[in-house]
Amino acid sequence: MIFSSITFLFYFLPIVLGIYYIVPNKFKNLVLLVASFIFYFFGEPVYVLLMAFSILIAYIFGILIDRFQETKYAKLFLIMGITISIGLLMYFKYANFIIQNINLWLNNKIDFIYVALPIGISFYTFQMLSYLIDVYNKKAKVQKNILKLAMYISLFPQLIAGPIVRYTTIDNQIDNRTHTIEKFSLGVRRFIIGLSKKVLIANVLGELANTFLTSNEMSILYYWLYAISAMLQIYFDFSGYSDMAIGLGKMFGFEFMENFNYPYIAKSITDFWRRWHISLGSWFRDYVYIPLGGNRTSKIKWLRNILIVWLLTGLWHGAAWNFVIWGLYFGIILIIEKLFLAKYLEKLPKILSHLYVLLLVMISFIIFNGENVTQILSRIGGLIGIGGIPIVSPESLYYLKSYFVVMVCGIIFATPLVKNIFLSTKKEKLKNVLEPIALVCLLILCTSYIVDGSFNPFLYFRF
């Protein structure tokens, strides 16, 4: 089940909200737990058991770590819990990738493991790891109620696409969150905005990107249309899902961290990654980069730490070499910026530093979406006409005209321009009238697109 579906919007969510607000407070967590398992069961019936087993592992080893906190056994139990959690992730997400490369490099013929990738396994595994590590480091109190821990890990608003919610962020909210009409209305507002980003921009631009992939008529313009549409699609898809998750959290009384902060207005790649997938970046910083020594070590080890983090960041996004290359691509750029380029970027006119970021990010998503190095290089080369392709073609002109308005809207809404204009408007009464009307119109428009059976891909199966 995905958020941008009729089943979720008009059946599952209204029923869950109705039951949630009818039952007494002491049963609200139980309602969310049952709803979350039903939500996951709808898309992954078999792997509900895997998630339940993972929750049991986190619960048992959390208890053991807390019980033996002042002894050498605490670290042993931490290592065991981490090993089992990562082992499950490795098996279901990376086993075939490892086998494929062993067969390739050692000329073996090991049979592939035919298992489906459990949706959201990367997200809930990282949540469990942070919980165990924080209990060990005494940053979080152990949760002795397995139902409450299960609710935290399986909570359906953030289960399949993040943000990665740490236990320390919501431990107090599990029993002491507030429910107000204002918070609920803000949640609905945020959800509809996220849904609109997903359905009206990401899905539409995804159609253009998908059309390029199946076309045999190429031109420089067509390559640029693909690169820009793919770049905007993944931003609006991912940030749209994050907005919907944050909005759903508010509807149920939770406050989740922000996950995107207009990354395409960044003036450096360092700034870009402070704004893009914030929960993932902060997770790797706190649980990998800093434990390795961060930048408080020798320069060689510092550079090593950066590359390790970005190698893992790439692999987190998918079990394929293009993701490894994508992660190391950003790692190398960040090293270059930190060593000497940052001081020059600060002196550049803002427009040039923005263009620098946008160009590098656009190339990164060509890598991200590529199937092999040859294809990646071909698409990057197509941007400058390598291969003797024409500047324009009838097909590329047709798609430019067809998608021009959506692309312009995508570019505008990827900046805080509209938000700032709205916030700067001093006519509060007018805003209070126009905003609900606009949100209702957006919801109706999104529903129409979904009912029409428009392109509605789910980009998070690899996570």
Question: Do residues 352 and 231 share a domain?
Answer: yes
pLDDT band at 458 (very low <50, low <70, confident <90, very high): low
CB-side neighbour CA atoms (13 Å) of 263: 25
Domain edge (last residue) among 143, 177, 211:
177
**CB contact set of 169 (below 8 Å; sequence gap of 6+):** 256, 257
3-state secondary structure of 111: coil
In a domain, 460, yes or no: no
Q: Contact at 8 Å (CB) between 106 and 100? A: no
Question: Are residue 234 and residue 95 in the same domain, yes or no?
Answer: no
As a whole number, mean pLDDT of residues 342-367 equals: 93
Q: Which of 177, 197, 229 is the last residue of a domain?
A: 177
Asked whether residue 400 is assigned to any structural domain, the reply reads yes
Question: Which residues, 6+ apart, have CB-to-CB distance to 207 below 8 Å?
Answer: 454, 455
With respect to residue 365, please indicate whether it lies within any of the assigned structural domains.
Answer: yes
pLDDT for 161 equals 78
**What integer pLDDT is reported at residue 67 of this predicted model?**
94
Task: Select from 445, 424, 396 the least CA-distant residue to 225.
Answer: 396
| Number of C-beta neighbours around residue 439 at 10 A | 17
pLDDT at 379 over 80: yes
Q: Cα separation of 246 and 323, whole Å?
A: 27
> Is residue 127 within 8 Å of 152, Cβ to Cβ?
yes
Contact 277/238 with Cβ under 8 angstroms? yes
CA distances from 13 to 4, 23, 147, 165 (A): 11, 16, 21, 21
Residues 133-155: tens digit of each pLDDT: 999 999 999 999 999 999 999 99
What mean pLDDT is predicted for residues 301-322? 93
> Which distant-in-sequence residues (6+ apart) come within 8 Å of 268 by Cβ?
337, 342, 345, 353, 356, 357
Residues 283 and 153 in one domain: no
pLDDT band of residue 452 (cuts 50, 70, 90) is confident
Q: Does residue 457 sit within a domain?
A: no
Q: Are residues 203 and 150 in the same domain?
A: no
The helix/strand/coil state of 231 is helix
Residues 129 and 200 in one domain: no
Same domain, 163 and 209: no
First to last CA, the chain: 15
Q: Where does a domain end: 129, 146, 177?
A: 177
For residue 460, the model assigns a pLDDT of 54
Q: Which helix (H) or strand (E) holds 9?
A: none
How much is the pLDDT for 454?
A: 60
**What total of structural domains would you count in the chain?**
2
Q: What is the pLDDT of residue 133?
A: 96
pLDDT, position 354: 94
Angle between helices 28-43 and 48-67 in degrees, nearest 10: 130
Q: Which of 179-188, 214-223, 262-271 has the lowest mean pLDDT?
A: 214-223
- Kindly report, residue by residue over 184-198, the tens digit of the pLDDT: 999 999 999 999 999
Task: Give the alpha-carbon dihedral of 323, 326, 328, 333, to 10 degrees.
Answer: -170
- 408-427, pLDDT tens digit by residue? 999 999 999 988 888 777 77
Domain membership of residue 111 as a residue range:
6-177
How many angstroms separate the CA atoms of 274 and 94, rounded? 28
Q: What is the mean pLDDT of residues 201-221?
A: 91
Q: Are residues 385 and 265 in the same domain?
A: yes
pLDDT score recorded for residue 286? 95
Shared domain check, 405 and 283: yes
What confidence score (pLDDT) does residue 1 get? Answer: 78
**Structural domain contains residue 458:** no
Task: Report residue 457's pLDDT band, with 50, 70 and 90 as the boundaries.
Answer: low
* Residue 456 within a domain: no
Q: Angle formed by the axes of helices 121-136 and 146-154, to 10°?
A: 130
Instruction: Reply yes or no on whether the pLDDT at 459 is more than 70.
Output: no
pLDDT higher than threshold 80 for residue 337? yes
**Do 111 and 208 belong to one domain?**
no
- Residues 242, 195 share a domain: yes
Q: Quick one: DSSP state of residue 359?
A: H
Asked whether the beta carbons of 254 and 170 are under 8 A apart, the reply is yes
Examine residue 401 and state whether it is found in any structural domain, yes or no: yes
Residue 463 covered by a domain: no
The mean pLDDT of the chain is: 91
What is the secondary structure of 183-221 as a DSSP string?
A: HHHHHHHHHHHHHHIIIIIIHHHHHHHHHHHT-----HH
Q: What is the pLDDT of residues 19-53, one digit of tens each?
A: 999 999 999 999 999 999 999 888 778 888 999 99
Higher-confidence residue: 226 or 2? 226
Domain identity same for 153 and 191: no
With a threshold of 0.85, does the pTM exceed it? yes
pLDDT of residue 31: 96
Is there a cis peptide before residue 45, judged by omega within 30 degrees of 0? Answer: no
C-alpha closest to that of 201 among 445, 452, 380: 445
User: Would you state the structure tokens that stand for residue 407, as one six-digit string?
Assistant: 């692309």
Three-state SS for 317? helix
What angle separates helix 181-196 from helix 220-251, to the nearest 10 degrees? 160
User: Residue 89, Cβ neighbours under 10 Å: how many?
Assistant: 20
Residue 462 scores a pLDDT above 60: no
Catalytic residue among 179, 277, 317, 354: 317
Catalytic, 317? Answer: yes
Residue 280, helix vs strand vs coil: helix
Task: Supply the Cα-derived Rg of the chain in whole angstroms.
Answer: 23
Please indicate, yes or no, whether residues 149 and 168 belong to a single structural domain of this protein: yes
